[in-house]
Each structure stands twice: as structure tokens, then as C-alpha cells.
Amino acid sequence: MPALPDFPWDSLAPFAARARAHAEGIVDLSVGSPVDPTPEVVRTALIAATDAHSYPQTMGTLALREAIVRWYARRRGVTLPGVDAVLPTIGSKELVALLPLLLDVGAGDTVVHPETAYPTYAVGAAIAGARALGADDPADWPAGTKLVWLNSPGNPTGSVLDAGALRARVEAARSLGAVIVNDECYAELGWKAPFSDRPVTSILESDALGDGDAGLANVLSVYSLSKQSNLAGYRAAFVAGDPALIARILAVRKHAGLIPPAPVQAAMVAALDDDAHVAEQKARYARRRGMLVTALTEAGFSIDHSEAGLYLWVTRGEPALETIAWLAERGILAAPGTFYEGERSQHVRIALTATDERIAAAASRLR
């Protein structure tokens, strides 16, 4: 097993202790873990499916695969060729970490990921024995690149790639013979004014794929229900796109027994077919985001990007850990940008995933 980096959140322990010592308690805005209830429609479906005495299929039930195809058509404007173009996964993080291995990426190969990035893209390359490279500009992607990760909407920055930017990257990856994957798990949480019900552009949309006969070849989209449906505890996600790649991934997952539990698959169908709860959750996050944007701006922070997703990417123009300490003195815990863009970072990531009461407390303390 290759050497892996230390788990970054462990380094937050001293700041967490300082924040907990605040007279009115900690406001933990460091991790994007949902705090709101799982929708009733989802829990009802899960309960009804608890007589799960048979082994589930790795490929997922037909009902689930059809629900994923319907969701891409209804919410993303994507017409998939059929159920062979989708596959459920045990959350999205395990897929991000294992995809290089599942696609036979290894020593001598390069895995490209965003320069400011969720650490698991690099961890996945390390597990496979490949080289990880942070590079946003396709001109910097080298020969030997086998896998390109995009993340739009991005974590931690909340930045978004439009259809033209996605298309340029798809074309660049194809010229290298690389697979390109967009991690799209925040797509339903777009904040660009005026707020729209329309999710952020998918890499599988025709405008992103570009012209020609290539279609979905070597292109994948990854999505998670953790954010839109408060299903982080269910580990409910899926990958969609090139049927040939889906078949390769499925073949290995069958041998490894990587299967979402049957009741979770039933719950996923209910979540995917119900848009009302997603709109309600987005409204909650919009309210919390508005409170934090106002308070942070009044406290002298600048907010960069943050066009979509569950985070605000903010700076006071000082080293990130100094800002983390400043926040901890006020009982607020955030994630330092050093986790995502290296030791020189001057950013911190503020999550929207706290209750209305805790968000209001954070806003008051910032003022």
C-alpha cells in the first residue's frame, strides 16, 4: 500500500478545543455534513424495503437505474442511452478514491485534478500508484494523463464551469486519450443571482460534450444525494456516462462486492423522483447563506467564487491558520484553505451546514 497523507481534519483538534471553550458553545462550520432531517418520503421508502433478505445486485435494481436515467433527463437536460449508462455507488467519496484503480490507472500514469481541490482526488491517484497533478488549464495536462477530474460546482471554492469551459476540457482530455470525470454533487445548489431552479451544467449535456460522433465516450458524471436530500448517512450516490466505462467499473465492483444495500437503493428511487424536498432544502441553505454572507462581509472578509455548493470561500488577506484561530476565539470552527491549496493559502472554507440557530449565532459573533 502506498504511503497516504495524514487525514487533514485531525489537525483541527486544537482549534476545535478553543472553539468549544466559547461561553455559548461551538458553531462547527468545518465540515459539510447535513444537519436537517432526511425527507419523510425517503425514510418511508427505506422502511418499506427493510425486508432485504436477498443479496442486492451490484448494478442496482432496474427501478433505481431507471430513476437515475429519469433524473438526468428531468433535472440535468441529459438524455442517456439507457440503464447501462448508470451505476449506483456507496457514496461518492469511495468512487473518487477508487476510480483510478477501477480504470486500471497505475504507475507511470498521471491523474489530473483541480489546483484547489478536495484531497481525495490525489488520494485516489496514490492508492493506484499514479502521479497526481493539480492543473486547471488543459494546456498544462501532460502526455501520460489517463484520468482528469473536474469538480463543478467546486469544493471548496464553489466555482462553476460553464458549458464552454467543460467542452474545452472534454476535447483536451480526448486529445490525450484520457477519461474525464466531473464530480457534480453540488449541482442542485447554485447561487448565481437570480437564483434559478436550473441546476449547474452537467458534463453530460450536449453543449458540454461538443460536436462530433464521440458522444459520451470517455466521459463520466458523478453525483451524490448527500447534499440535495440530506442522505449523507445513507451513502447514496451514482456515476453515469460512457456505457463502456460503466461496464468496466461494474465488472470490478462485482468481484469486490461494492454494493449499496437494497433498502438504500429503494430510498434513492424515492429521493430521485421527488423534487419538492430538494427545493425546500435549497431554500434553507439560501437563508443560511444570506445570513453568513452579510455577517462575513461586515466583518471585513472577502468572498471569492462561492457561486454554488455548501460553502463560502473567504479570506481576510492573512495566512489561513491565523483566520482559523481568529474564528476559534469566537467559537466558530472552519476548514483552512491549507487543506485544499497548500501552506500558503489565505482562504478558509465556511460551511452552510448548521442549524438556523447556530448560523445566527455565528453571524452575531462575526459582527
pLDDT tens digit sequence for 14-23: 998 999 999 9
Those residues whose C-beta lies under 8 Å from the C-beta of residue 321, and which sit 6 or more positions away, are 336, 338
- Give, for 241, the enclosing helix (H) or strand (E): strand 236-241
Question: Under a CB-based contact definition with an 8 Å cutoff, are residues 12 and 134 in contact?
Answer: no
What is this structure's pTM? Answer: 0.93
- pLDDT value at position 12? 85
User: What is the C-alpha to C-alpha distance for residues 1 and 19, in angstroms, rounded to an integer?
Assistant: 36
* Domains, the chain, with CATH or none: 8-37+277-366 (3.90.1150.10), 50-273 (3.40.640.10)
State the sign of the Cα–Cα–Cα–Cα dihedral 306, 161, 135, 309. positive
Name the stretches of the chain with pLDDT < 70: 1-6, 9, 193-197, 212-213
Residue 367 has what pLDDT? 86
* pLDDT reported for residue 1: 58
What 3-state DSSP class applies to 335?
A: strand
Cell reading at 243: 456505457
What is the model's pLDDT at position 196? Answer: 61
pLDDT at 87: 98
User: Does the CA dihedral 360-365-366-367 come out positive or negative?
Assistant: positive
Residue 21 confidence (pLDDT): 94
Going 203 to 205 to 207 to 212, the CA torsion angle's sign is positive
Alpha carbons within 13 angstroms on the beta-carbon side of residue 329 total: 6
